[in-house]
Chain A
Amino acid sequence: MTILATEALTKRYPRVTALDGLTVSVGAGVTGLVGANGAGKSTLIKILLGLVPASEGSARVLGLDPATQGQEIRRSVGYMPEHDCLPPDQSATEFVVHMARMSGLPRTTARERAADTLRHVGLQEERYRPIGGYSTGMKQRVKLAQALVHDPKVIFLDEPTNGLDPQGRDEMLRLVHRIGTEFGISVLVCSHLLGELERICDHVIVIDAGRLLRSSAIGELTQASQVISVEVEEGLEKLAARLTETGETVAVEGRALTVQVRADETYDLLRDAVVDLDLNLVRLEQRHARIEDVFR
């Protein structure tokens, strides 16, 4: 099922071209939209919401044309912006109820759904206190709740992990994944960190300077860019030399050694090399593919 699709979508501003002939298609589930800052992610979302017109090309969201049916699209879509958008003097409950009403929910329904949604995003008693006193993590949850409260069919999340600490990041990503699977709401999540998205997405779209770089299922993408990072107590050079001999591509990065995964046997070779050289292994981890790796 296609949730949204664009066809040669182009958006030119007087001084920059934000989108340049972008053709993508997004299915149900969680889809990641990856690109550096200024790659055109936010512009794409604004066009999909029907808030700004495209210069050329066309788009469809839930089978509707944003240029003419923006109204209907916005009824069944949720949007979590990247920037701060919460009034500090209101409580999360008041704010989310109000936003539910702005989506057209009747008063009592708005109250019920606001309470439900805030519980789902993990806000407890603090939801009655003014938002001004919340941590960044709690604010991000309120932003997510206002995008979910009217039970949309699709939800656009712009950098939902922005400003969060590692634990907050994990929680937010788990939540996004739950929305896409358990809640059955399709998610388009923007990020400039591919490593983050590979953990929760079924599909990833990479754009750069408004152009499509690649669009593929998550499996293909991470396989192509897998790197492992090895750290040993001493003898990093010996290990690097041994691995190079056996035909692996390695690079020393500070105190760690990064090894490109050619195939499954790379893991065996690495393990054997460490054992043979009798090295003390400190760390061995799969390094998250970074956006730069995809650009290579």
Chain B
Amino acid sequence: MSQPTGVIHDIGYRHYDGPRLGRGGAAVALWVYSLRGTFGLGRTFKSKIMPFLLFGAMMLPAVVSIAIMALLKQAPLSYTDYAVFMQAVIAIFLAAQAPVLVAPDLRHRVIPLYLSRPVTIIDYIGAKLAAMIAALLILMVVPLTLQFVGEMLIDLPMPLHTHEYLAGLAGSLINAVLLASIGLTLASFTPRRGLGVASVIAFYMFTLAASTVLFGVFTSEGHTEAAGWGFMLNPFFLVNAVQVNLFGTPSTSGEPVPGGAGPALVVVAVVLLALAALYARYRKALAA
């Protein structure tokens, strides 16, 4: 007699004796999962619209710049100015996607499930922060790199802007770390995604307005140095100043920037402050 085929057997509960990746593996998995989440990958179609629209907007100047290089043989858009020119798009991306990373877990109280596993609070925050940094890096570095590849392929009557490109990459990294720290911290204070979006945008608008006003006031009073610092209220100009001091590239605003280690120290201080607040926020969530 032949054996019956295609029969489903209930094999009962099976134990698992295979490998367990532990804390490190879990943290890396969370990082990948979160990074995918910032671009809506593995989520609904609706959550892909915003990040990809903004990503497309970031690419536009690079594409136009390549076209201008190819057709008019003119210098490409300055690599070190890209982030400052496109700051509104970057800020909106941060505001839209930082709450995506932190709000649902807080709102639906998923955090205890993470913490009852090998993952610790530090791992959790670290993975989320690294994901936001990586997402912002992708947003800023891809257009720069595309433009640089374009510049290499097109035969321009001038040397390659390799130094500017590298300075732009370094600036993107500093920008990503600073913005991700501020954005995630602001977003983590509310479990509501909409409020998170609003608070990050409000923060950006405030720094934008305040920096312009301070610059104007100090300039009309003749305090040139104070005016330069007033501009530093805007995180994009702050990072631009660090870039100027580190690589000797021209400042985007055309105004002299505070020199020395000052702007860099401010960046470090703001990042540390933001991360301390973020950690305190999740300590509180654990105790609850």
Q: Give the CA-CA distance A81 to B104 in the complex, in Å.
A: 17
**Complexed CA–CA distance, A98 and B11 (Å):** 24
Known contacts A98-B33, A102-B29, A150-B16; A74/B117 CB under 8 A: yes
- CB of B4 closer than 8 Å to a CB of A: no
B104 to chain A, nearest CB (A): 5
| A209 close to B (CB within 8 Å) | no
| B115:A86 contact, CB within 8 angstroms | no
Q: In chain A, residues 46-99, which have Cβ atoms closer than 8 Å to a Cβ of chain B?
A: 49, 51-52, 71, 74-75, 77-79, 81, 83-89, 94, 98-99
A178: nearest residue on chain B (CB-CB)? B13
**In the complex, are the beta carbons of B25 and A104 less than 8 A apart?**
yes
B15 at the interface (CB under 8 A from A): yes
Interface size range on A against B = 35 or more
Given A102-B117, A102-B119, A182-B13, verify A75-B20 contact (CB < 8 Å): yes
Query: Which of A49, A71, A85, A113 has a CB less than 8 Å from the CB of B23?
Result: A71
Which residues in B have their C-beta under 8 angstroms from that of A183? 13
Q: B residues within 8 A CB of A120?
A: 13
- What is the chain B residue whose CB lies nearest that of A182? B13
Answer yes or no: A105 CB below 8 A from chain B CBs: yes
Q: Does B18 contact A (CB under 8 A)?
A: yes
Most buried by A among B22, B112, B120: B112
As a 0/1 sequence over residues 106 to 118 of chain A, the CB contacts with chain B under 8 angstroms (1 = contact) are: 1101000100100
Q: Are B110 and A106 in contact (CB under 8 A)?
A: no
Instruction: Let me know if A103 is at the binding interface, CB within 8 A.
Output: yes
Contact B15 A79 (CB under 8 A): no
Point out the residues of chain B lying under 8 angstroms from A49, CB to CB.
Answer: 115-116
Q: Is A191 an interface residue (CB 8 A)?
A: no
Q: Check if B118 sits within 8 Å of A75, measured CB to CB.
A: yes
Question: In the assembly, what is the distance between CA of A88 and CA of B43, in Å?
Answer: 12
Known: A51-B286, A182-B13. A104 touches B108 (CB 8 A): no
Instruction: Report the Cα distance A84→B104, complex, angstroms.
Output: 13
Q: Which residues of A contact B19 (CB under 8 A)?
A: 106
A106 touches B21 (CB 8 A): yes
* Contact call A101/B29, Cβ cutoff below 8 A: yes
Would B20 and A105 count as touching, CB distance under 8 A? Answer: yes
Q: A79-B116, A116-B14 are in contact. Are A86 and B21 (CB under 8 A)?
A: no
Task: Tell me, in angstroms, the Cα distance from A15 to B43 when the chains sit together.
Answer: 44
Say whether B44 contacts A89, CB under 8 Å. yes
Q: Which residues of A contact B119 (CB under 8 A)?
A: 102
Within the complex, the shortest CB–CB distance from B29 to chain A, in Å, comes to 4
Closest 4 CB pairs of A and B: A79-B116, A151-B16, A101-B29, A104-B21
Question: Using a CB–CB distance below 8 Å, which chain A residues touch chain B?
Answer: 49, 51-52, 71, 74-75, 77-79, 81, 83-89, 94, 98-99, 101-107, 109, 113, 116, 120, 146, 150-151, 182-184
